[in-house]
Chains A and B, each alone.
Chain A
Amino acid sequence: MRIATTERTVHPVLIFWTIVGWVGFLVLPWYGIDEGFFRFEWLFDGYPMDTDHAPAAMLLAMGQKWWLAPLLLPLILPLFVLNRRKTEPIYAKVLISAGAFGFGWLIAQGFGIGIRGWSFDWLEALFGPLDDRQFGMGYGALLLASAYLFFFTQGIAARGAVNGDVFVVSSIGGVIAIVSIFVFFPIAKTLLAAFITEDGSYSVAVFLAKFFDDRIWALGCLFGGRCGVAWNSLFLAVLVGIITTLLGLVFALVVTRSGFRYKQGLRALTVLPIITPPFVIGLAIILLFGLSGSVTTWVADLFGIRPTRWIYGLPGILIAQVLAFTPIAFLVLIGVVEGVSPSMEEAAQTLRADKWQTFRTVSLPLMRPGLANAFLLGFIESMADFGNPLVLGGNYDVLSTEIFFAIVGAQYDQGRAAVLAIVLLAFTLGAFYAQRFWLGKKSYTTVSGKGDAGVHPQMPRRLSIPVYAVAAVWTAFTVIIYLMILYGSVVELWGVNNTLTFKHYITAFSLRLDEGGIRWTGSAWDSFWTTIQIATIAAPLTAAVGLITAYLLTRQSFAGKNAFEFGTMLSFAIPGTVIGVSYILAFNVPPIELTGTGIILVVSFIFRNMPVGVRAGIASMSQLDKSLDESSLTLGANSWQTFRGVILPLLRPAILAALVYSFVRAMTAISAVIFLVSAKYDMATSYIIGRVENNDYGLAIAYSTTLIAVMLTTVGLLQLMVGKTRIGRRMDHGSGG
């Protein structure tokens, strides 16, 4: 006979978080440690008496930081309900109020008191001047904040939310908290920054002036002048969206509706954008069409014309982005083209439509929402792309690079960066919204569980000829581009001295053995190891957050679920440059001071890549029949035990995919990273961009090639590992319901 948890008077989870809270308050340093917490130098550097390293309790005991005192109350209160039953109203009441007050006060004091005393004038007016200050919160504060948060969620659960399920309520609370802190807070901070005047006050006029700046919205190019960056970005994104969608459709048709034999080879194309750092295509384009590029010089010799820099600007970015994002459209459209039920097409054919009529009147219209979807994805990717415009942009300014130059350039104008970020965000969010709410309901290609016995008809002749031609040309082009990358890395100086050499690899990755062990003498090692390290830390965290979110979205129902889903998927539509800028604006000052640390890189990766984990999780969890969870619950497991014992083991492929994907994405990302790197934590991509800016193409390409090889290996290992996690001979259970 089971003992209902509602009747227990021992609450291990509550005890755990109470201990965590006390450790945070009594033991760990309250404020952030400049040298890094995990070096533990602080232990020998005046701990626990030194103000910079002392825990909160010590600070209070020494009569300092009096504003931390109220934090003690909500820490003591839960002790009184430790042996109460959950069903007693006092249990929930105490935990909710302690959690809410503690968390609220922690945030209030963090924002209220900063490095210059009171952060707001009205606080000073109210309480008089404060001759004390505080820096960013550290691990002590982090533990205490978590304890408060989970007191609160346990209180809510005890009151009966989500059937009183502590694990689910706590997960929801946790995800909301971190998404608010690391997505909504920075974005809000950016919005605010757009309104700040030079003397620090807020003004709508300033925002309007910056927003309606001619540099953003001018339409001069229609009359032979220059256009604003917003129009540039929009024009480029629309073009890229259309072209990638068409090319993606072409490839999808070749793979699914032709007798083409090497389909698997084409499918490998879809791996390319994942493993290619975004600007590498740009580099290869320069090698081909740049001033001293092979094609340029060949044409120049042939026709006796002067080589020009025509590639820099719209043509270059367009070619590079189309190369980079066609595989994404391809990936989407394979699913769409395959998803059109063959019986529809067979029905059309039995109704006397010929192949071309079938394609035109049935297949194509059924694919329409999928095509729009692919277009919007291409649009968003192009808008958000930073690497290619940076390398190839020339005078063609786009939003993502303008944001960067507004922050790091000579003009250093946070307000302008913020306004540009808002414009960019408006475009991408608009597309994201359209994709989710307008297209989301229109898909005709829902794959039902029922087997569809039909076969897709082959393409009609008048379609197949142009499709083959385009596919062949584009495949050849892609292959050449990637060969160029390989070739470019072993050439002395491109276009000038074409002798083969390993010089660049040696400069970057040389190492020496001496008595001290291996000496990493190559110039790239530093950033390489940092990248590996950061990516290794970020990947499991990303996967964890993503899968828990996916679990909540697919398996639980709770109030505000739609908003929750929108919030967690939102960061997918936030371009990296916007994340970069907003993180700088938000985390450069207390209470959360992260700039210059490795943590900020890890955090930015987690929230950039989380939607991918969520999607992977949702996709595989919706294939697990819900009765599996339910039977586990009726057998007496609670939802955490169910998640651990049933769901996670069945999700191993999804977990691995999420892990590897976030690892690889962390290695190739540039747009957010370039704002967040520091001398101590330089990443591979930003190092490469630095080499490019110094016209050191050889090294840059050699390094990129190495990265691609590393990632190819990782993806390959994944395929091997996933291939082995099969369950039994067949997977035909759990299909009813």
Chain B
Amino acid sequence: MANAVIHGKAASVSFHNVSKMFGKDVLAVDDVSLTIEAGTLVTLLGPSGCGKTTTLRMIAGLEMATRGRIMIGDKDVTGLPATDRDVSMVFQSYALFPHMSVIENVSYGLKFSGFNKAETRDRAIAGLDLVGLTQYAERLPSELSGGQQQRVAVARALVLEPQVLLFDEPLSNLDAKLRRQVREEIREIQQKLGLTVVYVTHDQEEALAVSDRIVVMRNAGIAQIGTPRELYDAPSDAFVADFIGEANLIPCSVDRIAGDMAEVSLDGYKTTLSARGLPVGPAILAVRPSRVVVTRGTKSSGGMAARIEKATYVGSRMEYTVAADFGQIFATVEDVDTAFAAGDEVTLGFEDRGPVLLPPS
């Protein structure tokens, strides 16, 4: 028999006004609607308690929606338990069955999917091959390293060719180096097989690195959905701006709207930015620390006078806390050779593509 090949059978996932209550008064997910295209990797990102894991578990069928409809492909799965959904999940703790060998773990789900013995074995081997662990087939999970266990868990989920593959913070038990490696492997397999993957994490860097799209969640709802680039460059509000990367949030005012550009002023510093639909009045300016320009001395025009409060050397760059009239600003500067010291008088400016106008909070 020819070697089995693992395919993707990707399907889309959609939520229609889904809510989840725990008990009578805990609202874990509040009226969420979203669509995840087939064959994409979508990350649910947010601080702890924002409802991202509950959302994931509702796709798996481990939690049942209190209200709303969940579709996988064009099938309504709202009432189906986990067993009956064509979805696999990789758990934070890997959840490998400690009493079964690696190959038994990977075959486990196949046993319930109507494959005969030979097919089961072929597919399990193919799955292990995909994650490069064929030689460990007969070991117990406890005899593998953390990263290897993680890959077994991925293989175990993959061999079922699920319509949707779910990851619940899969990297949080790995060390930093391994984390980067495994996340690249996951992304590679996802793209190779064209899988639909939903991925939960609270690490924004991880999310930016692996995702086709990111769903930022906050307080049981969705704050913004977009590609990594969109979220980083054009956050919809102060929360997203601060959560995806860091951002200095500076109160400012919109003086005039001309077309889709806005004239913005803060403390005498004036600039023209994309208005993004904001009216004249108070607003917030979000500036990434890396987009802040710090120059020595006080200049007469085009900048804000400020003073270095704290200067920290972190190897690849300098981190400054700068005090201006409107408050403190955090800035990172690549130039470590001509660093400023605390107390230096400087002038602040922003790079052209730097600041983003946000609605007042």
Contact = CB atoms under 8 A, between A and B. Distances in A.
Interface stretch (B91-99, B181-189, B293-301): B91-99
B74 interface: no
B142 interface: yes
Contacts of B83: 5, 633, 636-639
Nearest to A2: B86
Interface residues of A, number: 38
B64 A163 contact: yes
Interface in A612-633: 625, 627-628, 630-633
B142 A727 contact: yes
B66 interface: no
Contacts of B112: 2, 635-638, 641
A1 B86 CA distance: 6
A625 B153 CA distance: 15
Nearest to B109: A635
A61 B91 CA distance: 60
B88 A650 contact: no
A126 interface: no
Interface in B48-67: 60-62, 64
Interface stretch (A131-139, A438-446, A728-736): A728-736
A596 interface: no
A493 interface: no
Contacts of B87: 634
A561 B172 CA distance: 33
Contacts of B143: 728-729
Interface string B128-150: 00000000000011110000010
Which of B95, B109, B172, B173 has the most A CB atoms < 10 Å from its CB?
B95
| Prevailing SS type, chain B contact patch | loop
Contact of A635 (B84, B149, B157): B157
Nearest to B64: A163
Contacts of B291: none
A5 B80 CA distance: 9
B81 interface: yes
Given A625-B93, A645-B108, A633 B82 contact: yes
A335 interface: no
Nearest to B149: A733
A630 B62 CA distance: 7
A338 interface: no
Interface in A582-631: 625, 627-628, 630-631
B84 A735 contact: no
A160 interface: yes
Contacts of B149: 733
A209 interface: no
A288 to B, nearest CB: 50
A473 interface: no
B86 A727 contact: no
Interface string B85-118: 1111101111111110000000011011100000
Nearest to A732: B142
Interface in A1-33: 1-2, 4-6
Interface string A704-729: 00000000000000000000000111
B98 A733 contact: yes
B244 interface: no
Which of B97, B113, B142 has the most A CB atoms < 10 Å from its CB?
B97
Given A635-B156, A728-B141, A627 B91 contact: yes
Given A163-B64, A636-B160, A4 B80 contact: yes
B302 interface: no
Which of A165, A631, A733 has the most B CB atoms < 10 Å from its CB?
A631
A165 B81 contact: yes
B79 interface: yes
B214 to A, nearest CB: 23
Given A2-B86, A164-B81, A733 B108 contact: no
B9 interface: yes
Contacts of B94: 733-734
Interface in A644-665: 645-646, 649-650
A567 to B, nearest CB: 22
Contact of A734 (B80, B93, B160, B161): B93
Given A160-B79, A636-B160, A637-B108, A733 B91 contact: no
A72 B79 CA distance: 34
Contacts of B141: 728, 733
B99 A733 contact: no
A734 B99 CA distance: 12
A733 B97 CA distance: 9
Given A646-B97, A732-B142, A634 B60 contact: yes
A737 interface: yes
B141 to A, nearest CB: 6
A631 B90 CA distance: 7
Nearest to A737: B93
A207 to B, nearest CB: 41
Given A163-B64, A728-B143, A734 B113 contact: no
A668 B175 CA distance: 54
A737 B92 contact: yes
Given A633-B83, A635-B156, A731-B142, A2 B99 contact: no
Nearest to A629: B95
Interface string A306-328: 00000000000000000000000
A632 B107 CA distance: 11
Interface in A174-199: none
Contact of B98 (A4, A163, A633, A727): A727
A737 B85 CA distance: 22
B142 A729 contact: yes
Contact of A627 (B81, B95, B142): B95
A500 B71 CA distance: 83
Which of B85, B98, B112, B153 has the most A CB atoms < 10 Å from its CB?
B98
A160 to B, nearest CB: 6
B109 A727 contact: no
B84 A736 contact: no
B113 A636 contact: yes
Contacts of B140: 727-729
Interface in A364-391: none
Contact of B173 (A628, A637, A736): A736
B142 A733 contact: yes
Given A734-B93, A734-B98, A2 B84 contact: yes
B96 A630 contact: no
A275 B60 CA distance: 48
B80 A630 contact: no
A628 B97 contact: yes
B84 A625 contact: no
A2 B115 CA distance: 11
A163 B176 CA distance: 39
Given A634-B89, A637-B108, A730 B142 contact: yes
Contacts of A641: 112
B93 A736 contact: yes
B97 A632 contact: yes
Which of B61, B91, B161 has the most A CB atoms < 10 Å from its CB?
B91
Contact of B95 (A6, A649, A734): A734
A2 B96 CA distance: 21
A646 B105 CA distance: 10
B98 A632 contact: no
A727 B99 contact: yes
27 contacts: A1-B9, A1-B86, A2-B85, A4-B84, A163-B81, A630-B91, A631-B156, A633-B81, A634-B61, A634-B62, A635-B88, A635-B157, A636-B83, A636-B109, A636-B113, A636-B160, A637-B108, A637-B109, A637-B112, A639-B83, A728-B98, A728-B143, A733-B96, A733-B98, A734-B95, A735-B93, A736-B173
Given A634-B89, A635-B157, A729-B143, 10 more contacts: A6-B80, A625-B93, A633-B61, A634-B87, A727-B142, A728-B141, A729-B140, A729-B142, A733-B96, A734-B95
Interface of B: 9, 60-62, 64, 79-89, 91-99, 108-109, 111-113, 140-143, 149, 153, 156-157, 160-161, 163, 166, 172-173
